Amino acid sequence: MSLLSPVEGWYYKKVSKDEKMWMVIALILCLSLFVWMIMWHVYGKQNPSSITYRTSTAEFGKLSEAYIKKNMIGADNGVPVVRPDANSDVFLLAEMWRWSPVLVLQKDQSYKFHISSRDLVHGFSIQPVNMNFQVYPTYDYVLEFKPTESGEFKIICNEFCGIGHHAMIGKIVVIEKDEDLKLYGYENFKKAASTDTAANKDVPLTDAEMALMGEQIYTLKGCGACHKTDGSSQIAPSWKGLFGKEEHVIENGKQISVKVDESYIKESIKDPTKKKTVGFENTPMPVFPLTDDEIAQVIAYIKTLKN
C-alpha cells in the first residue's frame, strides 16, 4: 500500500508495450494451467477416488475393530498388524495420535481402502511416494490401491492434530513372498486371543489369559497411541511399572498422591478427567465404553508390565 496518493489521471495512462506483453503471457499461462488441471483430473493416473460414504465415528470404529479381529496376525509397538486377502476391503482408522492397523499387503495385488477419522481432520500421506489425501470424521473415503513396489512405507499425518501430531506415524509393509515377513519381524506373529472363544468358556480365565485379553484390548482400542509399554512417556504415562506406583494427580484443582491400584485404574478409564496425572494435564483422554470384564482384563495386562 502506497503512502502517497497516486497522480491524478493515472488510470487513463497508456500501458507500456513490455507490460502488455507480460500481461498476455501471464493470461496464457493461467489459462493453460486451468485446462491442464481439468485434463489431469480426467486422464491422470493418480486421481483420488470419487467414492465417499457418510458414516459415524462409532459405526466406522466398530467396522474397523471387527476387520482387525478377523485379519490380525500380531502387534507392532501396540498397533495391530493385519494381513488382508488380495482384492479385499481394507479399513484404516485415524485417531489422535496413530494410524491403525499396520497393513501387510501383497505386491501387485489390488485393495480397496476405507479410510476415516475417529476424532478430527487428519492428513493421510504415504511416504516416500508422496501420496496425500485428507481424512475427515463421519466420512468413509474409499481409495483404490495397488502397490507396485515392495518395502516399508510410512503413513504421515500432514494436518496438525494436537500435541502428539509429530508421533502419528503409521506403516504399510508390501511383500512379494511370505519369507519377506522376516525382514520386519512378523514371521512369528501369533493369532490374537478371541474374545468370543473366551466368553464361551465355562471355567474362569487364568491370569495369563486375562492379561492376553487385556493386551488385545490395548491394541484394538488404540491405547498405545498415548500409553507406551516401553517406559517412554511423551504424551501420557507409560504403563510399564505403573501398577503399584505412587502417582501425583490433580483433583478439584489440588495436587494429591494416589496409589495406582485396581480402583484407580478403573476410575481413570470410566472418568479420565477426575484425576489428571501431573505433567499430562493438557492431554485429552477419551472415554472408552469398556465393560467391567474388559477393564479387569486391561488391569491384568498392566500388572504384567513390570520394570
pLDDT in tens, the chain (307 residues): 567 887 777 777 788 888 889 999 999 999 999 998 888 777 765 556 668 899 999 899 889 988 988 888 888 877 888 999 888 999 999 988 889 999 999 999 999 999 999 889 999 999 888 788 889 999 999 988 899 999 999 999 999 988 888 889 999 999 999 889 888 888 776 554 444 444 445 567 788 888 888 887 887 777 887 888 888 887 888 999 999 999 999 988 899 999 999 999 999 999 988 898 998 888 778 787 788 888 999 999 999 998 7
Longest CA–CA separation in the chain, Å: 96
For helices 207-220 and 292-304, give the axis angle rounded to 10 degrees: 100
Other CB atoms within 10 A of residue 243 CB: 20
Cell numbers of 193, please? 486371543
For the chain, how big is the Rg over CA atoms in Å? 26
Kindly give, in sequence order, each residue whose CB lies less than 8 Å from that of residue 153, ignoring residues fewer than 6 positions away.
126, 127, 128, 129, 171, 172, 173, 174
CA distance 228 to 100: 15
Ranges of each domain in the chain: 52-184, 195-304
CA 93/CA 105 separation, integer angstroms: 17
How far is the C-alpha of 64 from the C-alpha of 78, rounded, in Å?
Answer: 16
Peptide bond into 101 cis (omega under 30): yes
CATH of domain 195-304: 1.10.760.10
Q: What fold characterizes domain 52-184?
A: Immunoglobulin-like (2.60.40)
Q: Using an 8 Å Cβ cutoff, are 61 and 91 in contact? A: no
CB distance 228 to 217 below 8 Å: no
Q: How far is CA 97 from CA 49, 162, 240, in A?
A: 25, 8, 19
**Separation in Å, CA 288 to CA 61, 266, 271:** 12, 11, 9
